[in-house]
């Protein structure tokens, strides 16, 4: 009897958990479904139908107009995001390696100051960054925006890699040194191949932060150098005439697809990489 009651309670608990999860999934997916359906509707369908109704006439004209409006800015975001992500990840790996394995006098203070950068809000660095970019001749340029994202993200990537490398057994590094391996040999042939989960964390973290950024894009870029987030805002808020919600929704989908693809392809590594340095040895 007790066993039967226990099984019923377990079944009820599972049903309650699955029901809660399904409700949460529905809450999160409904806006995405509305955007996707609206992007394939005609303006007439949008005016006469409801948000979740299937298009009477499915058309890609909204996507075509959206790409014509933001396509160039999409490639601007690619030019900004890809180099900033790659360089900040590589430099973060090198910084974490030095701070974990080749400690020097003042390294702990240096690491503490570097971590301080993780807590600086975007707004704090706008004026100093603008002044610096002006002095370097990089104001309102793609390389300037790359530099801003690289420097701002370096504190996070260094933290991720340093925490992972601290968990690597010291005996492994000592053995490599005894075998004659130098600074870059240990880094390139031993530690980097072990760092795939942490590399994926940095790639996902940096890609998401940089691709979705609006503030730096609107402050440090102008005209044809702006990223897609700024172009999307301009499209939605400055359109004239009848509002074309299908174009707005398609443009929003275009802006959001890259981060969605990155999470689908590499999301399984994210939690694994975050916890990679949790245990020493």
pTM of the model: 0.84
pLDDT at 105: 81
Whether the Cβ atoms of residue 100 and residue 160 lie closer than 8 Å to each other: no
Indicate the pLDDT class of residue 112, thresholds 50, 70 and 90: confident
Q: How confident is the model at residue 10 (pLDDT cuts 50, 70, 90)?
A: low
**Within 13 Å, how many C-alpha atoms sit on residue 87's CB side?**
15
Q: What is residue 3's predicted lDDT score, i.e. its pLDDT?
A: 62
What per-residue confidence (pLDDT) applies to 186? 86
Q: Which residues contact 187 (CB under 8 A, 6 or more apart)?
A: 93, 94, 97
| pLDDT score, position 102 | 79
Whether residue 187 contacts residue 97, with contact meaning beta carbons closer than 8 Å, is answered with yes
User: Would the pLDDT of 132 be above 70?
Assistant: yes
Query: In this predicted structure, what is the pLDDT of residue 279?
Result: 47
**C-alpha span between 81 and 57 (Å, rounded):** 37
Q: Can you give the pLDDT at residue 90?
A: 94
* Percent of the chain whose pLDDT exceeds 90: 37
Q: What integer pLDDT is reported at residue 131 of this predicted model?
A: 92
The mean of the pLDDT values for the chain is: 86
Single out the residue of 64, 60, 69 nearest to residue 41, CA to CA.
60
pLDDT in tens, 136-195: 998 889 999 999 999 999 999 998 998 888 888 888 888 888 888 888 888 888 888 888
């Amino acid at each position: 009897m007790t066993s039967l009651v226990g099984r019923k309670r377990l079944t009820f608990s599972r049903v309650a958990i699955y029901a809660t999860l399904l409700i949460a999934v529905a809450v999160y997916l409904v806006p995405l479904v509305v955007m996707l359906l609206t992007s394939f509707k005609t303006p007439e369908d949008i005016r006469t139908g409801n948000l979740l109704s299937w298009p009477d006439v499915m058309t890609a004209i909204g996507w075509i107009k959206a790409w014509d409006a933001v396509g160039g800015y999409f490639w601007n975001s690619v030019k900004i995001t890809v180099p900033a992500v790659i360089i900040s990840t590589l430099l973060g790996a090198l910084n974490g390696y030095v701070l974990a394995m080749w400690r020097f006098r003042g390294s702990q203070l240096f690491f503490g100051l570097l971590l301080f950068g993780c807590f600086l809000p975007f707004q704090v660095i706008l004026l100093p960054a603008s002044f610096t970019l002006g002095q370097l001749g990089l104001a309102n340029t793609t390389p300037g925006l790359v530099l801003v994202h690289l420097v701002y993200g370096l504190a996070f990537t260094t933290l991720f890699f340093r925490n992972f490398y601290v968990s690597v057994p010291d005996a492994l590094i000592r053995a490599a040194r005894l075998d004659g391996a130098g600074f870059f040999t240990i880094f390139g042939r031993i530690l980097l191949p072990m760092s795939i989960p942490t590399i994926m964390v940095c790639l996902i973290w940096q890609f998401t932060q940089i691709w979705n950024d609006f503030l730096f894009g609107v402050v440090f870029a102008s005209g044809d150098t702006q990223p897609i987030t700024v172009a999307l805002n301009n499209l939605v808020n400055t359109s004239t005439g009848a509002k074309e919600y299908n174009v707005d929704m398609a443009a929003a989908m275009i802006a959001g697809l890259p981060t969605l693809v990155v999470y689908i392809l590499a999301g399984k590594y994210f939690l694994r990489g975050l916890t990679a340095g949790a245990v020493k040895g």
